[in-house]
Amino acid sequence: MTRKKIVAATGCPTGIAHTFMAAEALKKAAEKLDIDIKVETHGQVGIENGLTEEDIREADGVIVAADKDVNTDRFHGKRLVEVPVSRGIRGPEDLINQILNEEAPVHKVRGQSSSEASSTACKEKNAPSKANGGKKWAHTIYKNLMNGVSHMLPFVVGGGVLIALSFLFGIYSADPNHEQYNEFAAFLKNVGGLSFSLLVPILAAFIAESIARRPGLVVGFIGGLLADQGGAGFLGGILAGFAAGYIIILLQKLLTKMPKSLDGLKSIFLYPVIGIFLIGAVMVPLMVPVQGLNEGLMSFLSSVQTTSPLMLGIIVGAMCGFDMGGPFNKAAYVTGTALLAQGNLYFMAGVSAACIAPPLIIAFATVFFRRYFTKEERNAGMVNFILGGTHITEGAIPFAAKNPVIVLPIIMLGSSIAAVMTYLFGVQVPAPHGGFLVLPVVTGAFQWILSILVGSIIGAVIYGLYRKRIAKNTPIEE
């Protein structure tokens, strides 16, 4: 009997941990179910183990566990299960069984015949992906947003760290009129600032690209520039990205009756010319209200930070610890980077502390209560010291996934304590990523480390006691 074959694609906004954890979970589940599987990963370095036309043609079905665009058009005519990346980690067997039991719907792309499906397997399509029914709007919108965030992050991290490094030479080291001026520091700040200045345009461009493929890219980028220059900030960039994507979709519908021979003219001339004009017509009138909304949000967060650090810390800690790299975590992180770009170094300090704490909670628990963890868990716990120290929150997910109802509140508590103490101490972190690697540029570095350690150790003790209690009923297998 021929073994069933499934292909899959995984991807998360940062492309660091969730992507590969989901891929590994799917491979293990397929091995257990005696199924052949090939998983394509969309990580931060790009596409790895890419699916070929032959792979897709021979597959009995497709699993897409992703929070970013992975070009599902190429799976036209195949049974497709499309879920958030977290589902790929938590329930891989269920996803595979949906294919085996033929419960998954057949994926259809509007305007594409079955004969065209294989020819587009590894190519970009100008037409947007349109599944008939079954596609959840909330996940689709989130996936489009996260596609923008995932492409924006390298610009934010690279630029932010360079700007932070320039401060090592002095707070005013990039000012040619100040006695602290250093030419190399000025170079670092200028180059880093240029990277940081692309935050909003890149965000908007790749939201639009996720919606409308390549034609949306240029229109989204221009919309993002308009939002940035108009002072509408990242909220304006999000609006510009979605507006640009759906403007291109509208143009594609309006121009469908044009001769096929003019497809090239549409892509290189009509879409960019009309699209840029329309995004300008949409964004310019919206600049004033969106700018006001953006400034109001930033002002509110800044005021809460100074007047009620306890409340802000609890909110930030709960968001970062709740889904560890998911939508709530990313919402706090993106807000932090946006405030960082506007000179607010305090908010990101709490976000970073809350993101570093979860893997350290796990790591300390496996050290303090080692007899209540398996050898495999203890090894993973040691790795979490490295992951936590470098701001990679996702290392805690495998432990939380075993009993999220109990473990997630513990992690949220530890993260909240770390964030609250960070805000109370008034710590400033000028870099959006890097964890303890950016300690030399942190204002209040000792207090920041103390805050993170206190939150992590309290969470670790509570988690360890929980593991001790359940070990009485379930002996630990080495």
> Residue type for 213, please?
R
Alpha carbons 349 and 298: distance in angstroms, whole number: 16
Is the distance from CB of 65 to CB of 84 less than 8 angstroms?
yes
Burial class of residue 54 (count of CB atoms within 10 Å of its CB; 0-12, 13-18, 19+): exposed
Rounded Cα distance, 265 and 263, in Å? 5
Strands 46-48 and 36-43: antiparallel
Neighbours of 305 (CB within 10 A): 21
b/e map 96-132, b = 16+ CB within 10 Å: bbbbbeeebbebbbeebeeeebbebbeeebbbbbebe
CA pair distance 121, 56, nearest whole angstrom: 7
Contacts of 135 (CB under 8 A, 6+ apart): 82
Catalytic residue IDs: 12
